[in-house]
Amino acid sequence: MRNVKRPCNRERPDVKLIDKRIIITISFGILVTVLVFLGIQDSLNHPSISRVPISPNVAISRVSSTFNMSENQIDKSPQYVYVKPDGKVYESDPEFNNIGKIIGNAEPTNTGASHFAWEINNLQNKKKYYVDGVIGEIISNSSYK
């Protein structure tokens, strides 16, 4: 006769304990996901240190040095705006980066992207220059009457 091995009568792990572990693990994952989502949503309301807008004076000096103009030719009260890639210009607020109503048009941006920017008016040749509000790059310009 052959030796037939019979399975041991070991106790099976408690199925209820495994079910509780799975439920706790899934609940923990859901809780962490919700907390990360809420943290990301809240972070959108606060500018990070790397996204604090440059001052209007920096934007004015950038335009005057790039185009070799005296600062007397430039309007001393630039407006903070939002410029879309197609050149549409919207009013904005440097503290909250809100986008308001459309206020004008400019040439399409050099980067092909949207920017919060300072609108600098050259009083002598009636041109507007748009200086990126974070990195200070001149991203577009336009003429006005």
The 10s digit of each residue's pLDDT in 20-69 is 888 999 999 999 999 999 998 887 776 666 667 788 999 988 998 888 88
Residue 63 and residue 114: Cα distance in Å, rounded? 19
> Residue 6's pLDDT is what?
56
Residue 91 and residue 119: Cα distance in Å, rounded? 10
- CA distances 32 to 24, 35, 39, 102, 134, Å, are 12, 5, 10, 40, 32
Name 8's Cβ contacts closer than 8 Å, sequence gap at least 6: none
| Global pTM value | 0.66
> Residue 29's pLDDT is what?
96
Residue 8 and residue 24: Cα distance in Å, rounded? 31
pLDDT in tens, 84-129: 999 999 998 877 778 889 999 999 998 888 999 999 998 888 899 9
